Amino acid sequence: MAKKPISFVLNGQDTSVFVEQGGNLLDELRRTVGDLSPKFGCGQGTCGACTVLINGEPQLSCLVLAERVEGQRIDTNGGLAEGPDLHPLQKAFVEGFAAQCGFCSSGMLMAAKALLDRNASPSRDEIAEAISGNLCRCTGYEPIIDAIVVAAENMRRRTT
């Protein structure tokens, strides 16, 4: 089957690749583009480890056809840090022990980023709702929610 050329903006950079027709975005990001930060946990849209932002909205990249992202803006955890400086969310995850094996972290961070981008001071319930599509098997959700609360505080302090 002929591959299809597509272009999109990945973490602020113009990206053009040939993708398998019918291939999913997760596979193409990982194997073709080489951004390995989204993970394959289930391939069925249940675990959230492959969460990326498409035009700012959290999406499960294992369920998105790669051809559909033509011209869209995609953000992954691979582009979250600014060079050597961790994003406040990443920093809070480190300091709050919100990652153990690290397999869910990339998806969890992107779901949290989407939340903080539209709501700078979410309640714990809103955070729980926002990460409800992301499973974690090691850390448990409390340290993750705590870290997102801390990150939100730090980001508000930084902007005011």
For 58-121, what is the HEC assignment?
EEEHHHCEHHHHCCCEEECHHHCCECCECCHHHHHHHHCCCCCCCCCHHHHHHHHHHHHHHCCC
Token readout for 84 is: 């050597």
- Name the minimum Å distance from CB 145 to another protein: 16
- Show Cβ contacts of residue 144 under 8 Å, excluding neighbours closer than 6 positions: 93, 96, 98, 108, 131, 136
Among 19, 25, 49, 69, binds another protein (CB under 8 A): 49
- Name the minimum Å distance from CB 41 to another protein: 5
List binders of another protein among 62-91 (CB under 8 A).
76-78, 80-81, 86, 90
Which span sits near another protein by CB under 8 A: 35-43, 53-61, 125-133, 152-160? 35-43
Nearer to another protein, 91 or 123 (CB): 91
List binders of another protein among 100-159 (CB under 8 A).
100-106, 109, 135-138
